[in-house]
Amino acid sequence: MVTLMTSIWQSLDKYRAACKIAKRYAAEHAGDGFSGLLPALDDVMPSCSELASVSLGLVDAPMSKIRGTATAGRASAFAGNYMPLLPDSSEFANKWIMLYEAHMESGIRDPGTAYEYLGYYYIIEGNKRVSVLRSLDAPSVHLEVTRLIPRESDAERDKDARLYLEWLNAAPRRKVVYIWLTTPGAHTELYSLMRSAERPGCHENWMYEAYGDFRAQYHKFGLGKLPITTGDAFLTYVKLFGFPYREEKDSLIKKLKSLDRQLMYQAYGARAQTRAIRPKTPRAVFVYDNSPLTDEWDAAHDYGRRALSDAFPEAEIETFTDLNAAGDADGVLKELCARVGEAVVFITGAGRRGEAQRMLLTQAQPQTLVCHCHPEGDGLITPTYYGRTAEPAFILGALAGSMTDAPALVYRPGSLAAADIAAFALGAGMVNGRARVTRRSSIDGCPDGVALLAGRGDMAPYTAFPGVIARLVSIRAGRAAGRLAASAWDFGAFYRALCASLWDADESEGIIKGIGAVPVHFESGLDSGLLSVHLNYAELPQTALLLAETITESVKRDGIPDTGKYDVRIDGAEEL
């Protein structure tokens, strides 16, 4: 009898303690548009009964994903943290206490029922069960779940609905585990990486196992306090290091530590308190995928390296060639970094994004700066550099339009970006209203006129200089008859400017402020000298030369028109 009375008083004390927590929570969260009470799906989505639904069956739902109750009528009995609010003399309190005692004796076995909407659970039946289990810090609860699928019209207004539909389309349908990402396209990217990394013998939920291991160490390391989702951090990790599937804990923790600067930026943006990198020792290393003797792209960078060497004869400048043949690129770069010490390292291969970022984050020398030649910044803190190649393409387009009477201009598929083709077409259309650009794999059978031939390796170089981006040639009888102009790189202009800002104590720090701490993308155009247009004065008439020179000066001063504002006609654009 004494034992029974003791149990009753202990249960009542548990309820009263839960009520205190509930009242404190409700008071702290009342105001600013919040009641402090349990959220209800009726309030979030009043027309939820009209949504399409699918049964998920029995789900072990994490407590952290239980958002509230399904109907507003149940909300007033609980604070927003699911702790009870009603007096301990109420019938509600009596039922709560009885459920608590039943759980302490044999456990709560019957599952509740819930709707799942946008990745969160709203309890239909079993609110008190959830309350009791949450008061005992249970990690999860068994629920029979029905998923509510938002409409496309909801996704147009609500970012979360848009991300959720993307997750539904990208993730394997049988899965219920959520890895929540906050950037449009990120779910598609993650599950595409998952499919590429599938291994023979992997069990069905292998990626979620990897995510669980990552999540445990991520929060243990204290990074879970950052204001980004664990899923966002996981995707960053995967892009740099691959999936941590059954990875040794020490290895996973070591890689997590190296991500500190990158995750700080993702969380706080430019306000991130991270250290900028400024190697002041005049030392540079150029890393090429291939040999400058055989690869035109690497030859262009090597031309820039020689210009840097001429500008800084006292600097130690070396090259590493044929990274493609090295096998373990990460190992080669790590060894290279340890050997050269404080330096600026230029990695020129556009496909080396992961290696460049890993080298910056994991190298032992804190003043080694890694820069990567890549078309655009992507949120990674490794500095990138590239040129506005649409500018010379626009000038070549204007030349092409002025040099032909035929309405169709031709370009061949190659290394040109879609934006460059659009700029070429706009330039042609501005001087020849009938001009339209057509994609062709060859110029055989083309009418006499002008063609833009896409970049590296597509033809023999236009002149002796390396770094040709695109060439403009005239067509006669289906053959390239005359070379009229070419756009080209001069990487020496960039290398001289950046290294001067690093090595010259008298220079302003404007160009290198924050470099290596936040994403920095150096993008230059014709005005900087990084890009140029070379004209064949022997082939072009004076009027065409005057046109090219006039437009070049205009582009240097004002840039090119926004191609997105105009109807740029490019036949076969769907193949780009």
HSE toward the beta carbon, residue 425, CA cutoff 13 A: 25
Quick count: other Cβ atoms within 10 Å of Cβ 366?
10
Report pLDDT for 570: 66
First and final C-alpha spacing in the chain: 82
> Among 64, 63, 70, which residue's Cα sits nearest to residue 43?
70
Q: Which amino acid is at 106?
A: S
The partner residues of 453 in beta bridges, in order of sequence, read 412, 471
Report pLDDT for 573: 40
> Among 49, 29, 51, which residue's Cα sits nearest to residue 39?
29
Q: Coil, strand, or helix at residue 53?
A: strand
Report pLDDT for 286: 96
What is the strand order of the sheet 140-149 is part of?
52-62, 140-149, 112-117, 120-125, 66-69
Distant-in-sequence, close-in-space partners of 203: CB < 8 Å, separation ≥ 6: 209
Backbone angles phi, psi at 274, to 5 degrees: -125, 155
- Report the distance separating Cα 388 and Cα 398, nearest Å: 17
Report pLDDT for 47: 78
- Report the distance separating Cα 183 and Cα 233, nearest Å: 12
Per-residue pLDDT of the chain (576 residues; tens, 9 = 90+): 434 444 677 889 999 999 999 999 998 888 755 678 899 998 888 777 788 999 999 999 999 899 999 988 888 899 999 999 999 999 999 999 999 999 988 888 889 999 999 999 999 999 999 999 999 999 999 999 999 999 888 888 889 899 999 998 888 765 567 788 999 999 999 999 998 888 777 777 888 889 999 999 999 888 888 899 999 999 999 999 999 988 999 999 999 988 888 998 888 876 766 667 888 889 999 999 999 988 889 999 999 999 999 999 999 999 999 998 888 898 888 888 888 888 999 999 988 999 999 988 887 777 889 999 998 877 888 899 999 999 999 999 999 999 887 777 878 767 778 888 889 989 998 998 888 888 877 777 777 888 777 554 444 443 455 688 888 888 887 777 788 899 999 999 999 989 988 887 654 454 566 677 777 888 889 999 999 999 999 989 999 999 999 999 999 999 998 877 766 666 654 332
- Report the distance separating Cα 512 and Cα 516, nearest Å: 9
- Report the distance separating Cα 97 and Cα 88, nearest Å: 9
Distant-in-sequence, close-in-space partners of 325: CB < 8 Å, separation ≥ 6: none
In contact, 315 and 283? CB cutoff 8 Å: yes
The residue written with tokens 């092409």 in the block is 400
